Amino acid sequence: MQSPKMFIFCRNFDFPNDDFMILQQSVSLKSYNTFGIDATCRYFVELKQRDDVEKWVAMQQQSHDPFFILGGGSNVVFQQCIEKTVVKVSLRGIEAVKEDEGNVWIKAAAGEIWSDFVDYCVENRWGGMENLSNIPGTVGAAPVQNVGAYGVEAKDVIETVECIEIATGQWKRLTNAECQFGYRDSIFKQAFKNQYIIAAVTFRLTKNPKLQLSYGGISSRLEREGIEQPTIADVSRVVHSLRVNKLPDPAIIGSAGSFFKNPIISHDKYAVLLQHYRDLVAFPFEESFKIAAGWLIEQCGWKGRQLGRVGVYPQQALVLYNLGDCTGEEVKQLANAIQQSVKEKFDIDLEPEAIFIE
């Protein structure tokens, strides 16, 4: 390992704490989800250090109670009463584990705030994460969802994921390939769903970044600002600004961010749609095309509309937002209505990014 003198700071993992984790009953989850839904759970436990994780896993092996692993709460929609134990992963720590001439490997604990961690990497001039700026959530949730924005996904920078298997209590370190990343997908949403707790993620970042500027108006914004040789800090700042302009601040307006995945369709279907909709917003994706879900929703007339106490955000049709004290059931009803409209008009199935928890 190289000398730590290069870092602005380095927080140690697993601060000493003599307090045993506390299992609470009937806890309000309003402050634990960015949609601001006032739901309650049967039990609530917060894991703040590695020992807590191992203790809870041992308890779970005995009880076999239903549970839900909670990160930043930015991608969930809670129903009124959750008959499960909600397990909040709050492990903290950032550590440089390796470095060579062109790269640096940074390990971040699962409870670190994702946007803060990205800012930390940008400040240290480590490239690869700048397009993922200002995304809500935690580091531990990033590999589960394979978060992405503006042409970059978490899989592009993840080296390994450290996790514990709940059934056995065995710690594992999965490689990037073993995580089986896909579009907003990973093994943690498929074969390993509800079987592991992610404790930390190691990222491989570069000291010589190759900037990704071709998505979402980044290059045009930089041109308007007269920046001919942008840095990762410039890209991060522009991405942050673009997201602020399109998406509501969850501290002010409750939402789960982008609510639906961009659907992927075949070349043939794309060609047929293009004949009828010359302004179709789509991007090549592997051997197919990815259609902008926000465009589909807007074409169905949902942008700016509301149903009960939930609405479709006027600045971005991909976002559903809380008009005030909405319930998870109201969110589900609006989501279902939008999905039905898109299916009827375009014969395309919209899949939510947000997860409904009951």
Per-residue burial over 237-251, b if 16 or more Cβ lie within 10 Å, else e, is bbbbebbeeebbebe
Q: Are 75 and 94 in contact (CB under 8 A)?
A: no
| d(C-alpha 216, C-alpha 204), whole Å | 25
Which of 74, 112, 258, 330 does the annotation list as catalytic? 258
| d(C-alpha 164, C-alpha 142), whole Å | 17
| d(C-alpha 14, C-alpha 79), whole Å | 33
Query: What is the number of other CB atoms lying within 10 angstroms of the CB of residue 292?
Result: 16
Q: Are 14 and 111 in contact (CB under 8 A)?
A: no
Which of 99, 329, 353, 358 does the annotation list as catalytic? 353
Q: Are 341 and 328 in contact (CB under 8 A)?
A: no
Which of 92, 184, 237, 243 does the annotation list as catalytic? 184
The verdict on whether 184 is a catalytic residue reads yes
Catalytic residues: 184, 258, 353
